[in-house]
Amino acid sequence: MRDLNYQLKQLCQRNRDGSYSTQANRARMLNQIANQLQEMGYRRMTTHSLKPKHVDALVKRWLSEGMAAGTIKNRMNCLRWWAAKVDRRNVVARSNDFYGIPDRQFVSNTSKAVAVDDKALSAVSDDHVRMSLELQRAFGLRREEAIKFVPAYADQDDHIRLKASWTKGGKARVIPMLTQEQRDVLTRARRLAGSGSLIPAQKNYIQQLRTYERHTTHAGLSKLHGLRHAYAQARYQRLTGWTCPAAGGPTANQLTVDQRKQDYQARLTISRELGHVREQISAVYLGR
């Protein structure tokens, strides 16, 4: 292992900021960054030798490769984290505008919803992974939430509750239980997990995450964040009576004044159920 890769790995192990998923993603991105610096000719680097020229070279490369703005911004967050941990904050400019990184394009009227039917689920041989997928589909959960899910704790008859420690950003929340399908999924989850979570007793979260990734890949399943999109779009139709723009429904300027009020309240409800604070984020799932 190269010195920089090793030192960044050690830096991550000494500074466990954020959730397990955040830590794992950060470590992975920093390893990629170290490899790219090596490829671009910056050799014998250490964690303390990060300089503005390295940041400039990385951003130039990412932009030239046509990388999505959101992906670049995530990598910039990792660079700033690295710089802060070695007391070199001034190496990375505070604003992404300094590097010409474009804004994220949140609003799209192209649906990213993904459907996983029972036949596709049956191709997943691991019971715990299959159950996590069912929960993602039924309640619009994030992957981490569905893996850490403790059915006995979450089940509150007419809603489920999610612990802050399961969620992105550490925000506890509740999601209503509105259908018999949701009740059936939760009953099966309780039967499988008993008083525990959907992480088998002999594993930790990271190990089960790897199991999830391996089994879903073998089953030919991908872009499973799209299950949240599907949940949001179905929920929108239930709340408003019409399909959302991303699924071919009317756009904002085609709604009446009363419909726009209904649209706003539906988006606010869905944003909260998905674990977001702002109504604006609903456009990612529903279009505008």
Which of 56-60, 62-66, 191-195, 204-208 is predicted with the least confidence, judged by mean pLDDT?
62-66
Rounded distance between C-alpha atoms, residue 148 and residue 273, angstroms: 17
Residues whose CB falls within 8 Å of the CB of residue 57, separated by 6 or more in sequence, listed in order: 37, 40, 42
Instruction: State how far the Cα of 3 lies from the Cα of 202, in Å rounded to an integer.
Output: 33
Beta strands 159-162; 173-176: pairing state = antiparallel
**pLDDT value at position 101?**
87
3-state helix, strand, coil in the chain (%, to 5): 65, 5, 35
B/e letters for 40-73, b = 16+ CB within 10 Å, e = fewer, are eebeebebebbeeebbebbbeebeeeeeeeeebe
242 alpha carbon, distance to own chain's centre: 27
Q: To the nearest whole number, what is the mean pLDDT of the chain?
A: 93
- Residue 106's pLDDT band, with cuts at 50, 70 and 90, is low
pLDDT at residue 105 is higher than 70: no
Mean pLDDT to the nearest integer, 75-104: 92
What 3-state DSSP class applies to 280?
helix
**What pLDDT digit, counting tens, does each position of 156-192 carry?**
999 999 999 999 878 899 999 999 999 999 999 999 9
pLDDT at 251 over 80: yes
**0.75 exceeded by the pTM?**
no
Residue 272 Cα to chain centre, angstroms = 15
